[in-house]
Amino acid sequence: MPAVQETVERVRAIDVDQYKYGFVTDIESEKAPKGLSEDTVRYISARKNEPEWMLEWRLDAYRRWLTMEEPTWARVSYPKIDFQDYYYYSAPKAAPKSIDEIDPEILKTYEKLGIPLRERDALLGIQREGGSKVAVDAVFDSVSVATTFKEELAKAGVIFMPISEAIREHPELVKKYLGSVVPVSDNFYATLNSAVFSDGSFVYVPKGVRCPMELSTYFRINERNTGQFERTLIIADEGAYVSYLEGCTAPQRDENQLHAAVVELVAMKDAEIKYSTVQNWYPGDKDGKGGIYNFVTKRGDCRGDNSKISWTQVETGSAITWKYPSCILRGDNSQGEFYSIAISNGHQQVDSGTKMIHLGKNTSSRIISKGIAAGHSDNTYRGLVSAHRKATGARNFTNCDSLLIGDLCGAHTVPYMEAKNASAQFEHEATTSKISEDQLFYCLQRGLSQEEAVALIVNGFVRDVLQQLPMEFAVEAQKLIAVSLEGSVG
């Protein structure tokens, strides 16, 4: 049997139920009544002690949502979602006031998660030797349970807090920016999020400030039948810089849990935002049962001249991924980047990519996407690059490569390129291939095992993207790739 065939057999045999994070934390929680109605929206708003304007904003979104239809254009299929069958709010009882008050069960959960380790350490206030400081906002089901290093950040003038707090404490900033990148009626899921979002992170980096540490949010869905709708808003004012990391897990459940987040980034003149995600929601079992439905709207607005927004994502989890982190290149000379690794195994379905909308002059964008499909999964890259009439000097380079492991999966590439301007230079290339017998043989001949060889080659395949992640994150991502792809590897 040829080496590649052997690998294929092994991958096929992998027990994808080996999901490492599939434990449930046993804590008492408080939930909104099941289902979605204006009352649910009012309940959430009341639980958060929100001002009237915020409730109105949510209700407006809810009413719009009622008139919208679920999009069907993505290459994913799933039974119709019953939106009345979910809980839209779940919080650990007795919200903690400081880290010491956090339910030890929750802390144990973060300990058990292991990935990313720094978050747990940071949550416990430990700074590892040699490791850089990371401020963490941990979101458990619907609420933020802890935010670390708050004071230190405040000294630099950086605001980093749960968005529920920001709504109360910095209403002028929230009012100004919330919904300014992803409008309330942007799409079905974003509108739903606008109505029912429960928590998330808020970051404001003032003019000229380089955020002194990495900011991080850790999301975990714990409750059964719970939707998690977090909302993140990051603003880098003129000349500011911030790097933000996001990690996600969920316990193993055999029903589908719903996740519909919205992330808005605003980069003013000369500002830069780096947003990295390692998404490892529960992907479902080997028969495709359970797993997270992940419908996410992420968008960055390069609002000022010379601004830059960079998205990096490592997507290994979720039963369904519907996600297109995008950049609106509005400012002159602004830059957008999208680096993505999307790995699908089992019965996972991934439809992910980006949009680069060139509006300003001399804007540039770069897209590097690496899709790896194994098992019975389908993995689609979908991307749009457009240069408008007045976007003279727009530049894009796109490279999307797909790798298939086994012959029961599918890898698809659907790029759209719209050039409305002669001075735009677009270059796109895409390839689909398998792990070459020659490469594999070379590794085996040098003494690597089959699994090690595949992991090595896959890591080489995704290297360009891994390099974009902050170092410690990259190491974890690399491990995660091996785990999600092989189970028997690493």
Partner 1 sequence: MTINVRPARTAAEEAIAAALEASITAEAGQGRIPEVRRAARDAFLSHGLPSRRVEEWKYTDLRAAVRDFPNCAPAPGAMEEAEAAPLVPSLPNAGRILFVNGVLSRAGSDFAALSEGVTALPLDAAIAAGDPLADRINALSPSRYDGPLALNTGFLGEGVALRVDAGVKAARPVHIAHAFPGVEAVAGFTRTVVVVGAGAEVTLVETFAGRDGVAYQSNHAVELVVGDGAIVNLVRIQEEGDAAFHFGTLMLELGREAKLNLFALAQGAALARYNVYGRFEGTGAHAGIRGATLARGRQHSDTTLVIDHAVAGGESRELFKTVLADESHGVFQGKIVVRRAAQKTDGRMMSQSLLLSDRAEMDNKPELEIFADDVQCGHGATAGALDRSMLFYLRSRGLPEKEAEMLLIQAFLGEAVEYVEDADLRDLLIERISGWLEKRAV
Q: According to the binding rule CB under 8 A, does residue 207 interact with partner 1?
A: no
**Count of all residues that appear for the chain in the document:** 490
Nearer to partner 1, 276 or 396 (CB): 396
Binding-site member from 243, 318, 421, 478 for partner 1 (CB under 8 A) = 421
The whole-angstrom separation of Cα 319 and Cα 321 is 7
416 binds partner 1 (CB under 8 A): yes
Q: Quote the least distance from Cβ 388 to partner 1, whole Å.
A: 10
Smallest CA-to-CA distance from 467 within 248, 312, 274 is with 312
Examine residue 407 and tell whether it contacts partner 1 (CB under 8 A).
Answer: yes
Are 236 and 271 in contact by the 8 Å Cβ rule? The answer is yes
Vertex 139 angle, CA 135 and 145, to 5°: 80
Size of the site for partner 1 (CB under 8 A): 40
Q: Name the residue among 135, 157, 163, 171 with its Cα closest to residue 205.
A: 157
Amino acid at 279: Q
Of 58, 137, 153, 77, nearest to 102 by C-alpha is 137
Which of 47, 168, 434, 479 touches partner 1 by CB under 8 A?
Answer: 434
Closest distance between partner 1 and the C-beta of residue 152, in Å?
Answer: 48
Based on the shown chain and the rule CB under 8 A, indicate whether residue 59 belongs to the binding site for partner 1. Answer: no
Residue closer to partner 1, measured from CB, 293 or 426: 426
Q: Which residues contact 178 (CB under 8 A, 6 or more apart)?
A: 57, 231, 233, 264
67 binds partner 1 (CB under 8 A): no
- The least CB distance from residue 430 to partner 1, in Å, is 5
Cβ closest to partner 1, residue 281 vs residue 426: 426
Shortest Å, Cβ 444 to partner 1: 18
Backbone torsions φ then ψ of 380, nearest 5 degrees? -115, 130
Q: How far is CA 416 from the centre of its chain?
A: 22
Task: Pick the binder of partner 1 from 143, 260, 424, 489 (CB under 8 A).
Answer: 424
Q: By C-beta, is 4 or 233 nearer to partner 1?
A: 4
**329 contributes a contact to partner 1 by CB under 8 A:** no
| 251, 360, 415, 470: residue in contact with partner 1 (rule CB under 8 A) | 415
Of the candidate spans 68-76, 199-207, 263-271, 276-284, the one that interacts with partner 1 by CB under 8 A turns out to be 68-76
Q: Closest CB to partner 1 among 430 and 448?
A: 430
Cβ closest to partner 1, residue 65 vs residue 426: 426
Q: Which of 418, 444, 479, 490 binds partner 1 (CB under 8 A)?
A: 418
Q: Is the peptide bond before 171 cis (omega within 30 degrees of 0)?
A: no
Of 66, 429, 449, 467, the one binding partner 1 (CB under 8 A) is: 429
Torsion angle of the four alpha carbons 472, 296, 299, 366, in this order, in degrees rounded to the nearest 10: 60
Cβ-based nearer residue to partner 1, 251 or 415 = 415
Q: Which of 55, 68, 81, 414 binds partner 1 (CB under 8 A)?
A: 414
Residue pair 244/273 in contact (Cβ under 8 Å)? The answer is yes
Q: Which of 68, 417, 444, 448 binds partner 1 (CB under 8 A)?
A: 417
Binding status of residue 68 toward partner 1 by CB under 8 A: no
Taking the complex as a whole, the smallest distance from the CB of residue 90 to partner 1 amounts, in Å, to: 31
**SS3 state of residue 194:** helix
Query: What is the nearest approach in angstroms of partner 1 to the Cβ of residue 80?
Result: 8
Smaller CB distance to partner 1: residue 184 or 356? 356
Residue 366 makes contact with partner 1 by CB under 8 A = no
CA distance 123 to 111: 9
Exactly one of 110, 229, 295, 426 binds partner 1 (CB under 8 A); that residue is 426
Angle between the N-to-C axes of helices 471-486 and 3-13, in degrees from 0 to 180, rounded to the nearest 10 = 90
Q: What is the DSSP string of 53-96?
A: HHHHHHHHHHHHHHT------SS---PPP-GGGSBS-EEESS--
**DSSP per-residue codes, 340-409:** EEEEE-TT-EEEEEEEEEE-STT-EEEEEEEEEEETT-EEEEEEEEEE-TT-TT-EEEEEEEEEEESSS-
In the stretch 1-40, what mask flags binding to partner 1 with x, by CB under 8 A?
Answer: ---x---x--------------------------------
Q: How far apart are CA 485 and CA 373, in angstroms?
A: 9
What residues line the site for partner 1 (CB under 8 A)?
Answer: 4, 8, 69, 72-73, 80, 389, 392, 402, 404-434
